Amino acid sequence: MKEAKMERDMQGKNSEKVGKGNPPKDTRWKPGQSGNPKGRPKGIKYMSELLREQLDQVPDTIDGKPNTKTWRDLICESILRAAVKGNQPAITKELLDRIEGKVKDTHQIETGDISIVYKQVKTDGV
């Protein structure tokens, strides 16, 4: 068995190293070949796209009362009411992180009776 392998090596068929990170030449990607040729099917939306679309919808009624505000407006009002009461659950933070971007850096400035918290968020371009 070793003799056959040595003979192939001498003929140059196995002259390149094959192993982790070095697949055999005949199984490597060809130039311009995609690793995912079919890709994501057209028409399928990401969860974030669906959420953004729904946030801009206006529900007809809320608790049986006529409504003219979007879900985005209603959620913001709810978040503000909860924040004023001192209650901001993890889901609220997660929603804001996903919609506005995760907080990259937080700075707090305190002078006398005033405390300011400045949050710099990551954006798509940064």
Enter the tokens of residue 125.
């371009």
The pLDDT confidence band at residue 7, using thresholds 50, 70 and 90, is low
> pLDDT tens-digit profile of 62-97?
888 899 999 989 988 887 777 777 776 766 676 677
The mean predicted confidence, pLDDT, of the chain is: 75
- How is 91-103 classified by DSSP, letter by letter? HHHHHHHHHH--E
Q: 9: Cβ–Cβ under 8 A, 6 or more apart, which residues?
A: 15
Say what the pLDDT of residue 20 is: 87
Are the C-beta atoms of 78 and 89 separated by less than 8 Å?
Answer: no
Matching residue, tokens 């006529």: 66
Are the C-beta atoms of 75 and 56 separated by less than 8 Å?
Answer: no
